[in-house]
Chains A and B, each alone.
Chain A
Amino acid sequence: MEWNCWKMLKGINMSFLLEFKGLICCSEMGPSSSGKTQVCLRTASNVARNHMVLYLDTGNSFSPQRIAYFLGKTISPSSAQAKNQFLQKVMSNISCHSVFDIFAMFDVLHQLESYLRCQDGRGGCQMRLLIVDSISSLISPVLGSSSTLGRALMTSAGYLLKKLAHQHNLAVLIINHTVGGEGGSSKPALGDSWKCIPHSRLFLSCDRGSNTYNVSILRHPSMASGKAARFVI
């Protein structure tokens, strides 16, 4: 199943198309307040019109008011009741769950797996998007230098997400942070072991003092890396 990311990220003035195939696992990273959560909320509000979305929130950053605002902007002005009904229909498609440690996330992913297995049999509104905001805050407390348990948990979490994406035609959007690298530049958190797990990686940043955000591709299976675009949310 091929998806056009332009439709997913409608409203963001991306000047090029990112094609997301149904089994993609995409990771976004950027420094603090670079718009990562906003991009996720925007994506969720667009996808929720026709499909179901699960949002795993680790930092209480899910804001239903923001989603209502995004949806309110796109529909034509009509009666308050019609708008209310539309909001209710779309927002009931988004489920949000708070997880605060990695084991709770594994629990949720296993429950999701059994749900998706039942879902594949029947028709109707299906779940198509899983958002994890953010995976670095779940993994950093266990990623220590002495024991290898942290890295093992990180890799198994990554592969479980990829398996879900592949087997059930799910798009998975993961948020990562950046940490300081050599020479003052920032590099993505979670290191080199995480680098090869997502199918595609995007880097977000924002210009201080203005409302525009930059996104550039770090890795993608079919598009050249280095392409960048600016957008306003």
Chain B
Amino acid sequence: MEIWRLPISASQRGKLISAGYTSLSSLSSISSSDLARELKVSESEAMNILKVASHSRGSETSNASCSIVEGAQSAWDMLHDEESLMHITTSSADLDNILGGGIHCKEVTEIGGVPGIGKTQLGIQVAVNVQIPNDFGGLGGKAIYIDTEGSFMVERAFQIAEACIEDMSEYNRFLRKDFQECKIKMLPQDILENIFYFRICSYTEQIALINYLDKFLSEHKDVKVIVVDSVTFHFRQDFDDMALRTRVLSGMALKLMNLAKRFSLAVVLLNQVTTKHTEASFQLALALVTVLDLCSVTMLSR
């Protein structure tokens, strides 16, 4: 690899070439003080050049199975990673079957339905189920619940948490008869403590929160699911500029996908439905669906 491809400034590059260093190998055996003297630059600059050169040389001589670009993975590695990824169960066997085992991590799942069908209940259930410990087949992680409509009820979450613990102790009793009976040490209060709740009152707050989640997730690495209920609520009324709305929503979707991929968590978006008039008939369609082109979309109906 030649000198001209190194990420150094043009003046440094010019000095290197005029001093006779045209390839990386020529820089391999020189010390930084000698280089500083030859190029007539400061010693720290020379050290920087040598560091960059050795870094580039290191990545050049790596074998072909290494990535072409930084951060790329081969499909073979991804296949094995995918097999070891866990799912979050929704506590309904049929729904888990449709979703392929449950809610997948590293993916964004959108669930929609008419009002009153149980989307918020499903969201709370997922936020509780993600905390099932590893011994019982769960992820043992925490949850972020972003509420835009104000439909989250703590009493209901407490009931669901109690039911989940009861379910776990029954499973314990059923399967581990021969082992020593170990009591479930979790309490419903612990489950509620592991749900981070954000209440959003306008679309600017929603955009700001999605931008802030990056920092939040780097501090709380054990969060495994983000539930947004519901994602398009604040964008459906009072938005004057339609083009701006499309841009903002698609940007938000990309940021959520980025978060899902980087932190290996699941994102669950709950959405409302509208009626779409196509070819003289009315059809139920997810609100603003053309904007959010996501991984898996499920519609609930009675």
Contacts and interface: CB of A to CB of B under 8 A. Distances in A.
How would you classify the secondary structure of chain A's contact residues: helix, strand, loop or mixed?
mixed
A9 interface: no
Interface in A53-111: 54-55, 58-62, 64-65, 67-68, 87-88, 91-98, 100-101, 108, 111
Nearest to A145: B243
A68 B60 CA distance: 30
A112 B68 contact: yes
Nearest to A178: B290
| Interface residues on chain B, size class | 35 or more
B295 A61 contact: yes
B250 A140 contact: yes
A61 to B, nearest CB: 7
B70 A141 contact: no
B79 A141 contact: no
Interface stretch (B91-99, B129-137, B152-160, B256-264): B256-264
A192 to B, nearest CB: 16
B71 interface: yes
B255 interface: yes
A143 B243 CA distance: 9
A64 B82 CA distance: 8
Contacts of A32: 289-290, 293
Contacts of B257: 58-60, 100
Contacts of A1: none
A177 B291 CA distance: 10
B69 A108 contact: yes
A124 interface: yes
A177 B250 CA distance: 13
B60 A64 contact: no
Given A100-B257, A140-B246, A141-B251, A64 B72 contact: no
Contact of B68 (A95, A117, A143): A95
Contacts of A143: 247
Contact of A54 (B64, B68, B243): B68
Contacts of A88: 76
B67 interface: yes
A95 B72 contact: yes
A145 B244 CA distance: 9
Contacts of B68: 52, 54, 95, 111-112, 115, 127
Residue with the highest number of chain A CB atoms closer than 10 Å, among B67, B75, B293, B294: B75
Interface in B239-254: 243-244, 246-248, 250-251, 253-254
A118 B5 CA distance: 11
B73 interface: yes
B74 A95 contact: yes
A112 B69 contact: yes
Nearest to A58: B254
A212 interface: no
Given A141-B247, A141-B254, A60 B108 contact: yes
16 contacts: A32-B293, A58-B254, A59-B295, A60-B260, A60-B295, A62-B75, A91-B74, A95-B75, A111-B70, A114-B5, A137-B250, A137-B253, A137-B293, A141-B247, A141-B250, A144-B244
Interface of A: 32, 48, 52, 54-55, 58-62, 64-65, 67-68, 87-88, 91-98, 100-101, 108, 111-112, 114-115, 117-118, 124-125, 127, 134, 137-138, 140-145, 177, 179-180
